[in-house]
Amino acid sequence: MAAVVVKYNELKALGVEVLAVSTDSRFTHKIWQEQELSKIVEGGVPFPMLSDAGGAIGEVYGVYDAAAGVDIRGRFIIDPDGVIRGAEILTPEVGRNVSELFRQVKAFQHVVKTGEVTPSGWQPGKPTLKPGYALAGNVWKEWKVDHAFS
């Protein structure tokens, strides 16, 4: 979460709102903020940390582990219409990638703005695909695998 805090203003500039949700109580959030996060990142977390006591929110998003009584770590990209456009769910021992979050947000915004499709590894300024009948069987002419890595 600290990496998201560091990039929060850049996310806001993209029109993104960030919410953190966990099964921890608001009191646990407060202590975690004061004793840990504020020491990692000056000022701590600038966005809401919500308590999902009982896991109702996590249940809806498919991340609540009832046996453990916790929400599994997840990241969801939800568009302004409330549609989940992307999700990443990882167990605690593997951290999430904030750079990939930015790439995905920019890709979804590009798709909405242009109607084009952003292929694997797409970055702003890289080739996109225009969906339609003419593309069927011709993707190989428009997109190369090395585009995913450059």
Cα-based torsion angle of the residue sequence 87, 15, 45, 62 in order, rounded to the nearest 10 degrees: -20
CATH label of the domain that carries residue 11: 3.40.30.10
For residue 30, tell me if it sits in a domain: yes
For residue 12, tell me if it sits in a domain: yes
* 53-60 mean pLDDT: 95
pTM, 2 dp: 0.89
Nearest to 104 by CA among 133, 79, 131: 79
DSSP string, the chain: -HHHHHTHHHHHHTT----EEESS-HHHHHHHIIIIIHHHSTT---S-EEE-TTSHHHHHHT-EETTTTEEPPEEEEE-TTS-EEEEEE--TTS---HHHHHHHHHHHHHHHHH--B--TT--TTS--B--SGGGTTTHHHH--GGGGT-
Total domains, the chain: 1
For residue 126, tell me if it sits in a domain: no
Domain of 67, in residue numbers = 2-94
Q: How far apart are CA 25 and CA 139, in angstroms?
A: 50
The tokens describing 29, both together, are: 């959030």
Question: Would you state the pLDDT for residue 91?
Answer: 87
pLDDT band with cut points at 50, 70 and 90 for residue 43: confident
For residue 16, tell me if it sits in a domain: yes
112-133 pLDDT tens trace = 999 999 999 999 999 999 999 9
For residue 132, tell me if it sits in a domain: no
pLDDT band with cut points at 50, 70 and 90 for residue 18: very high
For residue 112, tell me if it sits in a domain: no
